[in-house]
Amino acid sequence: MARAATTSDVFNAIAEPQRREILVLLRAGERPVTEVARELRITQPGASKHLRVLREVGLVRDRKAGKQRLYGLDARGLRPVHEWTGGFEQYWNESFDRLDAYVQDLNRREEND
């Protein structure tokens, strides 16, 4: 089965590790493409390509600032990812609760021996 285009949705866009790194980098604030490229040790054309994909799916916004273009995080675009992963929160909480109960049971057994 062919993989969907990276610009088809947020999930496909963030499947690429460097794009996730760009999002982390942009959490600290707006940056020009040259700084993104330097920080991630990738080429400027490579950074531009990743930023374009992130912009097209709504995770990054850009604005003109003098002669350069600044890119910033638009975290509202992560809502579908947050909602999807949030569905697993109950699963993990229940798993950790079971693990905690098991460890407490082991500790009680050790104390009684």
Residue 33 to residues 7, 40, 45, 48, Cα–Cα distance (Å): 19, 11, 9, 6
What is the pTM assigned to this prediction? 0.76
Q: What pairing do the DSSP bridges indicate for beta strands 31-32 and 68-73?
A: antiparallel
CA dihedral 53, 55, 59, 60 (to 10 degrees): 130
Q: Helix, strand, or coil here: 20?
A: helix
The one-character DSSP state at 59 is S
> What's the Cα-to-Cα distance from 4 to each of 11, 20, 29, 52, 106, rounded to whole Å?
10, 18, 30, 17, 48
Going by C-alpha positions, the residue among 23, 96, 15 that lies closest to residue 55 is: 23
Q: Is the pLDDT of residue 1 over 60?
A: no
CATH class of the structural domain 10-112: mainly alpha
- How do residues 37-72 score in pLDDT, each as one tens digit? 999 999 999 999 999 999 999 999 999 999 999 999
Q: Does 7 have pLDDT greater than 70?
A: no
Domain boundaries, the chain: 10-112
- Split at pLDDT 50, 70, 90, the class of 20 is very high
How many Å apart are CA 50 and CA 13, to the nearest integer? 9
